Structure 1
Amino acid sequence: MGGGKSKRMPRAVREQQMLDAAVQTFARRGYRAASMDDIAELAGVSKPLVYLYLNSKEELFTACIRREAQALVAAVRAAVERDVPADRQLWSGLRGLFAYTAANPDGWAVLHSQARTQGEPFVREVAVMRAELVSFVEQLIGAAAKEADCDPEFADREVAGLAYALVGAAESMADWAGSPGGPSAKEAAATLMNFAWAGLGNLMRDQRWTPST
């Protein structure tokens, strides 16, 4: 007698397999050029099955953005060293970001290159990720300000803007850190800290740059 029936793949596993294929296809071909046929073939499933699980190309792309964004934020949070000074926490978080984006170039391309250029609702999905990163960095800068006993008004006046600037710079540098021959995650994080933290220290000491007359 023949063997028993082969075990069906769980829905969650099958869905992740499709998302893996979709992320690779969107990253390398672009959202407009990517087709559901391409994704189904790469995933090793039929196109109707892709539609059954994820309904449409737009919903599939949105699911890819959400998954990659959640993974990136989780990697940054996991990389942050605890119970150390705020500057080292920020440095370790940046190192985690650069290490993750270099190790996951397709996911980073979906977030940084594709989603941002395709309009709504995709831009909004990326904005959610950025807001979470900015809030996290804002907490670290605020903690550093407290450690330095700086002017209490500093947090209300400038911490949020500095957090946005630092996250924006990190996003741009991630392409450099992941490029062939680019710096290691540790080197990229140190470069950004040297650029940002010295200036932040001056602000905390109320030593501000002003344009020359």
Structure 2
Amino acid sequence: MGAVKTTRMPRAVREQQMLDAAVRIFGRRGYMAASMDEIAELAGVSKPLVYLYLNSKEDLFSACIRREATALTEAVRAGVRPELPADRQLWEGLRAFFTHTAQHPDGWSVLHTQARTHGEPFAAEVGELRREFVAFVTQLIAVTAREAHRDPDLPEREVSGLAEALVGAAESLAAWANATPGVTARQTAATLMNFAWVGLDNLMTGKPWTPPAA
């Protein structure tokens, strides 16, 4: 019998197959436990071909982080309509965020868990994604303040802190939702809106919570 002929694929398509396999293995087994052998096997290619395309395990992991971060950012941007009021923009952004993380749990594991626990340069790449989300939320809070009926001038430090808190809550909720059967992306987004927006609305309309006297 003659040798079995394999179908030749464009390099970009083959590389995406490798990244798909790598995200699945990294997301489920972790960076340290994942092996290039099992990634190659899942992708249906030889291990030397993975090294030829992506150089090393570290470079492969970095490529996974960049791809998943780009996909998540694009999903959130596509979900937000700038012409809507600030609360609707936040709602649509959160819903897009939780929908994407629910549909790509391995990718979210790579970004939220694996990349952060293995030091530089992986943590730095994820940090850039997080800064972009914080900037987006900061802008929404600033827009909301301008639209408020009362004094809209919140201290910049307070706006930044609120944005950091909201992004941190979204990250934790995404991990929780992916580990909790039956929770939908819409329910998760509504949970965070109920937690965050009521407080923001009170703050914008001059009814902030104040700590008790010492």
TM-score range normalised by the length of the shorter chain: over 0.9
AA aligned to 1:116 is R
Q: Which amino acid aligns with 2:132?
A: E
Percent of residue pairs bearing the same amino acid type: 68
5+ residue gaps, structure 1, are: none
| Long gaps (5+) in structure 2 | none
Partner of 1:12: 12
Please report the RMSD computed on the Cα atoms of aligned residues, expressed in angstroms: 1.6
Residues 1:114 and 2:114 aligned together: yes
Q: Is residue 31–residue 114 contact of structure 1 (8 Å, CA) maintained in 2?
A: yes
Contact 1:111 1:126 in 2 (8 A): yes
How far the C-alpha of 1:27 sits from its partner, in A, is: 0.9
2: distance between equivalents of 1:6 and 1:106? 29
1:129 and 2:92 aligned: no
Larger deviation, residues 143-152 vs 83-92: 143-152
Are 1:75 and 1:100, in contact at CA under 8 Å, matched by a contact in 2? Answer: yes
Distance in 2 (alpha carbons) for counterparts of 1:182 and 1:141: 31
- The one-letter amino acid of 1:202's match is N
Contact persistence 1:173–1:188 (CA under 8 A): yes
For residue 71 of structure 1, what is the aligned residue in structure 2? 71
Residues 136/25 of structure 1: CA separation in 2 closer, same or farther (3 Å cut): same
Cα separation, partners in 2 of 1:106 and 1:154, compared to 1, 3 Å? same
Shift in Å, 1:179: 2.9
CA distance in 2, matches of 1:140, 1:43: 41
Q: Which residue of 1 aligns with 2:189?
A: 189
Which stretches of structure 1, 4 residues or longer, exceed 6 Å deviation after superposition? Answer: none
Q: Secondary structure at the match of 1:81?
A: coil
Aligned to 1:80: 80
Following TM superposition, by how much is the alpha carbon of 1:9 offset from its aligned partner in structure 2, in angstroms?
A: 0.8
TM-score, normalization by structure 2:
0.92
Cα distance in 2, alignment partners of residues 50 and 89 from structure 1: 41
Deviation at 1:151, TM superposition (A): 3.0
In 2, Cα distance between equivalents of 1:39 and 1:183: 30
Cα deviation for residue 170 of structure 1 reads 0.3
* 1:64-88 Cα distance to aligned partner (Å, 9 max, x none): 0010011011111111134221101
Deviation, structure 1 residue 6: 6.8
What count of residue pairs does the alignment treat as equivalent? 209
> What letter matches 1:28 in structure 2?
R
Q: Equivalences for 1:165-180 in 2 at 5 Å? A: 165-180=165-180
* C-alpha separation in 2, matches of 1:42 and 1:59: 18
Deviation at residue 118 of structure 1 after TM alignment: 0.8
Opposite residue 15 of structure 2, the aligned amino acid is E
Give the TM-score taking structure 1 as reference length.
0.92
Q: Which amino acid aligns with 2:164?
A: Y
Q: For the structure 1 residues 77 and 155, does the alpha-carbon distance in structure 2 shift closer, same or farther, using more than 3 Å as the test?
A: farther
1:210 Cα shift? 2.3
Task: Determine the C-alpha separation between the residues in 1 that align with 2:188 and 2:155.
Answer: 26
Alpha carbons 1:65, 1:110 under 8 Å: kept: yes
- Equivalent residue, structure 2, for 1:161: 161
Write the deviation string for residues 101-123 of structure 1: whole angstroms up to 9, x where unpaired. Answer: 11111101111111111111111
Structure 1 residue 149 displacement after superposition = 4.5
Q: Which residue of 2 aligns with 1:147?
A: 147
